[in-house]
Amino acid sequence: MKEEAVQRRCTSVRIDQTGGVEVLRVEEIELARPALQSDQELIKVTLAGVNFIDIYHRRGQYQMPLPTSLGIEGIGEDQQGRRVFWLNALGSYAQAINAPKSALTALPETNLSSEEILPLLCQGMTAHYLVDSAHRPASGDFALVTAAAGGVGLILIQLLVARKVRVIACASTPERAALARQHGAEFAGTYSEMEELVNSATGGLGVHVVYDSVGKDYFDQLLSLLAPSGMFILYGGASGPVPLFDLMRLNGKSLGIKRPTLATYTATAQERSRRLQELIALVELGALKYPPTKVFSLLQVQDAHRLIESRTHSGKIGLDPWKI
């Protein structure tokens, strides 16, 4: 891919104020040409990921200078035509992006398409670091997974089962709980059934670890369902942030709590590459399955945001900036 002005002039999704999906607008922009010694590189975006953090950015829950382009995750081509990916480069909802060189990682050789790889980036690597680095449960441990039918949840279940962990999955509807069971959860139900599920599965002892991305709504209940010396891994807050609480609440059962982030566990290209290669290997072996990516055009970005906010979709959502 040659660096030409036509590539720097591109279509992008931007906001100039925060709010609902109506603030999303598609417009032509012209990217600055990175200087020779710049820490940025002009990248052609071939597929951008839609993530809940994009919703936080749009709503103003995470402050950013305005106006701004949205999207942090994508797959594309560098100036030499090599396929690369990134997890944290703002402005990915576009045909081109000036991405920090430190954020770019070469895609490993694979027969998987971009649509098949995209779920393995932010979502897959989140699931990977949760069980590989944030907390490694032992064989036979009980793990409670919330948002179990989401993009992270379905992959997380399979990675836990591969470690012979007994998974209790909770989702918003019976249909989504059934999907979690189809992906390997030993026990699955809705949030209203959560306490009964845990008590029945563990004989009232509680779970060894909770992996939660819901946040505020079920925090107190989830904390109560941990076994003595249990660990609470809070890696998201789809229902809102957990209010401040007294750490002495952990004292009674010697509980632990962590609030990890993907950025910490994918800080280097080597770490990103390792995690992605391990996930791709599982997919190629048939040991990791997930729903197909649903791809929208940039002009359909409002529909994409509505879908992810509905929490009814189980697969990855992507934006093809070249799709008409």
Q: Give per-residue pLDDT as tens, 282-303.
A: 999 999 999 999 999 999 999 9
Work out the angle at residue 312's Cα, subtended by the Cα atoms of residues 196 and 61, and round it to the nearest 5 degrees: 95
Give the pLDDT confidence score for residue 198 in this predicted structure.
99
pLDDT of residue 324: 74
* Burial label, 42 (beta-carbon count in 10 A; 0-12, 13-18, 19+): buried
- Alpha helices per DSSP H over the chain: 5-8, 52-59, 114-117, 122-129, 151-162, 174-182, 194-202, 219-224, 262-265, 269-284, 301-310
* pLDDT, tens only, 194-227: 999 999 999 999 999 999 999 999 999 999 999 9
Rounded to an integer, the average pLDDT of 140-158 is: 97
Residue 312 predicted with pLDDT over 90: no
Going by pLDDT thresholds of 50, 70 and 90, the confidence category of residue 60 is very high
By percentage, how much of the chain surpasses pLDDT 70? 98
pLDDT of 317 above 50? yes
Mean of the per-residue pLDDT values of the chain: 95
Q: Rounded to an integer, what distance in angstroms lies between the CA atom of residue 237 and that of residue 247?
A: 19
Q: How far apart are CA 32 and CA 95, in angstroms?
A: 14
pLDDT at 287: 96
Angle at 195 between CA 190 and CA 196, to 5 degrees: 85
Q: What pLDDT score was predicted for residue 61? A: 87
pLDDT at 200: 98
Average of pLDDT values for 227-251?
94
Percent of residues, the chain, with pLDDT higher than 90: 88
pLDDT above 80: residue 6: no
Average pLDDT over residues 298-321: 94
d(CA 138, CA 289): 23
Distance between CA atoms of residues 237 and 130, nearest Å: 15
Which residue, chain included where needed, has tokens 């060189």?
Answer: 101
All structural domains of the chain, each given as residue ranges with its CATH number in brackets, are: 5-107+292-320 (3.90.180.10), 123-264 (3.40.50.720)
pLDDT band with cut points at 50, 70 and 90 for residue 5: very low
The amino acid at residue 292 is P
Q: Would you say residue 7 has pLDDT above 80?
A: no
In angstroms, the CA 131 to CA 125 distance is 10
Read off the pLDDT of each residue in 46-59 and give the average, rounded to a whole number. 95
- Residue 239 is predicted with a pLDDT of 87
The model's pTM is 0.93
Q: Distance of CA 295 to CAs 116, 120, 146, 194, Å?
A: 11, 15, 25, 33
Distances (CA, A) of 15 to 101, 111, 150, 237, 280: 25, 36, 27, 23, 34
Long-range contacts of 307-311 (CB under 8 A, 24+ apart): 308/50, 308/51, 308/52, 308/54, 308/55, 309/55, 311/147, 311/150, 311/172, 311/238
> With 90 as the cut, is the pLDDT of residue 268 above it?
yes
